[in-house]
Amino acid sequence: MFLIKDICFRLTIILSLLNVIHCIYQSETKLSGNGFQFQPVNYQGQILATFVIGNDLLTSCAFLCNENILCRIFDINGVISNQCRLFQGDMNIHGIIISSSITNSQVGTIQFSNDLYLNYGQSCSSNSFENRYLICGPNSTWECPQNTYWNQSVSMCVAQSPLMGSICQQNISMCREDLNYTCLRFNQCGRMYSFF
Report which of 172, 152, 156 is spatially closest to residue 111, judged by C-alpha positions: 156
E strands along 72-184, which residues? 73-76, 83-87, 95-99, 106-111, 135-136, 142-143, 148-151, 156-159, 182-183
The SS3 assignment for 145 reads coil
Q: Would you kindly state where each structural domain of the chain is located, as residue ranges?
A: 2-111, 114-157, 160-196
Rounded average pLDDT over 125-147: 86
| First-to-final CA distance of the chain | 54
Please, how many CA atoms are within 13 Å of residue 157, restricted to the half-sphere of its CB? 23
Mean pLDDT of 131-145: 90
Average pLDDT over residues 6-11: 40
User: What mean pLDDT value characterizes the chain?
Assistant: 84
Nearest to 8 by CA among 19, 32, 30, 24: 24
Contact (CB, 8 A) for 67 and 25: yes
pLDDT at 57: 93
Q: Are 109 and 30 spatial neighbours (Cβ–Cβ below 8 Å)?
A: yes
The type of residue at 153 is S
Residue 44: φ, ψ to 5°: -65, -35
> Residue 30: how many CB atoms within 10 A of its CB?
12
C-alpha separations of 49 from 72, 79, 84 in Å: 12, 14, 8
Domain range 2-111, CATH class: alpha beta
Binned at pLDDT 50, 70 and 90, residue 117 comes out as very high
Q: What is the pLDDT of residue 45?
A: 93
- Residue 135: is its pLDDT beyond 60? yes
Polymer length of the chain: 196
Q: Three-class SS of residue 124?
A: coil
